[in-house]
Structure 1
Amino acid sequence: MKKLLSPILLIGTFALSAAGHLLHWNSTLEFVLSALSVIFVAGFLGRATESVAHYAGQRLGGFLNATFGNAAELIIAVLLVKEGLFDMVKASLTGSIIGNLLLVLGLSLFAGGLKFKIQRFNVPLAGMNGSLMIVAVIALFVPAVFLNTHSIEGLQIDTLSLIVAGILIAAYLAWLLFSLVTHKEYLADPAELSAASAGAAAAGSVLPADGAETASGAPAHAEEHAEEPAWSKGRSILYLVIATVMVAFVSEWLVGTLETFTVQFGLSELFVGAFVVAIVGNAAEHSAAIMLAMKNKIGASVEIAVGSSLQISLFVAPVLIFVSFFMGGLSGTMDIVFSTIEIVAIAVSVFVAKSIIQDGETNWYEGLLLIAVYIILGVSFYMVH
């Protein structure tokens, strides 16, 4: 029954969302149906990516999940840029960053910690992620300070934004080279290293004692009999492509209802962009990261949550600046100057997330602290009009 229920909900919500868009139903109903459809499609996307991760390894799998999970966020943002809604774009980017660092990571640590008490992942990777997050904060903080303390004209702001965006994209591409190629083993998850060691030991007829634990904290025999993926490699990739296409459609339908939804319920663009759009757009990361944490694959969960935030701040946001520049139009180029409340929210999220993950160990209480900070920020954003 469970296997049948998920495809029915996926196809059903997608069909209803399409019907609402094409037949011009009530805007609020369209928004609800589109949001539900994005969540189910993102769940499908997360499951397909998790299956691909089995063949690609936890780190590459986590990167793929973060990338395809951000597909909805990127598509929504591009559509908003096209409409000239730059403030909502920045709010959604802010919401995506803090949502991944606080909500997604918090729920993952909480759910995984309840089941496994203490979970461990690569310490050098945690340190590098923390450093990159600080760079992202600096890239947002410096232009805002310069704009508020000096008289800078529009053209100069656009030029500064494009230069900073180019530097961030270069830094992100260099990080991919460093983490996935030149220092792949150095940043590998302990679970993968222990599995490789177990394989080498088995090849040499040296088996670990029954009940012995691997570096990940799980029994050795549990590592050897890891859960098989839901689909084959080819089918997983095919479903990944299909899910991404479906996300593109429902994201466009969702954006079409945002303005009416915001006005009807008296919400600010800042709150809608930072929390409503961000939560819906990040549904893939939510589901996949939590499921992996509950399977004691905390390294992949952290890679999804933190990696997605890094991808948003170091790649997606800069790319959107270039997209707005090449699109041109009456709205001009989107600058990289975020509002004070957005910068504060991102800085707070980076600070607390870095302090929690830097030791390479997690538990359920640390996850609860991240969720608490997210709720505090959510209430604060809601009060701003």
Structure 2
Amino acid sequence: MFAALSSVMGLSVGVAKVSTTLYALELGADEALLGLISGSQSVGVLLMSIPIGLLVDHLGPSRLFVLGSLVAGSLYMALPAVPSPVFLLACTTAISFFMPMRFVSLSTVFMQQLETVGEAKAGWYRGTHMVGMFLLGPMLAAGLTKALGFSGTYRLIGVSFLITVLMSPIVFGRYTARSSPRGALRLSGVRSDLALLAQDVELRSVCLIEFAAQSINSFFMFFIIPIGVAVADLTPAEASGLLAWQGVTFIFALFSLGGLVGRVGHERVYLASLVLVPSALLLLGLSRDLTPLRAGGLLLGLGLGVLQIANLTRIARIGARAGRGKVAGLQALVGPSGGLFGSTVGGLMGRSLGLQSMFLLLSVFFGVLLAVARRTPSAAGVSPTPAEPAAAE
């Protein structure tokens, strides 16, 4: 049921993102408004992730998930009421403030459930979400908007949010709140959570790796198509296929390699990623033909996939000792921040250095970062033995 809930959430967000872009174009939004509408979907996520993490530890994830789903779903249904790009911008910004209630809450439950189901399934949560968000959702969006119109599509998105509310009691009913006493809920808790990054060496290491991985993935997704068209003379369809090749190997790693990561340990996984990811970036930065670009995408998806599994297991362990809601909030802040950094700063630097050359710079940056971060020991010293898989339900 957890995988089903994550899949529905990813699917609805994938449809919503593409539909919003198509709707903005339909409304005649210019380049500036398109950029603002795209960025507005991250504003609330960046501002609210840590406060929502605090609320999860105090109120529990279930109520926050239901509230966020109901409000965000209602806003999606109301979005086509005023056919204006400015109104679309206002609605997408408002929705972004309630989305962390959904995924921070679900991440908190995932951290606890990972202790039961075992590390072999560490990538399933992210994998099921990505299948819906990056593969099925975008494919469905164009067909839905053509068949139902934008009003019908947004109503369907709102209904999907209601479906997740109906599914949530089964998933969140398994969550057990921490037995330790909680302090009073204050805004100073946000500063305390940010200070945790400075105090907790392992958490800082994991968050740096997450930030770098999301930056690289975001840069690849935003710019590989124009790079392929300009550098390798690919058709738009061939260049778009590079995204699919990278996405398939990324998702394959998340679903299939969790057991391997658990057996070989985080140290060796980081060492493998230290080879795979920079090698992929070098291929992408030096290649001028379809085949090596495709190979670079495949290697990048595989390297980032196994790295994601290792990070998720470490984050779950840190959450068990430092507070799952708190750590889930920090994770929800770091990931989108890295994605925003990769697409904006990478694009700005790419204007001066050349977009393809950015892959070479990222290769050096990521290699140095991972080489340093992999030396950071876990708080437990030796990695504990993965939990035995739970019996099939």
TM-score (ref. length: structure 2): 0.29
**Higher helix fraction (1 or 2):** 2
Query: Comparing both chains, which one has the higher relative contact order based on Cα–Cα distances under 8 Å and sequence gaps of 6 or more?
Result: 1
TM-score (ref. length: structure 1): 0.29
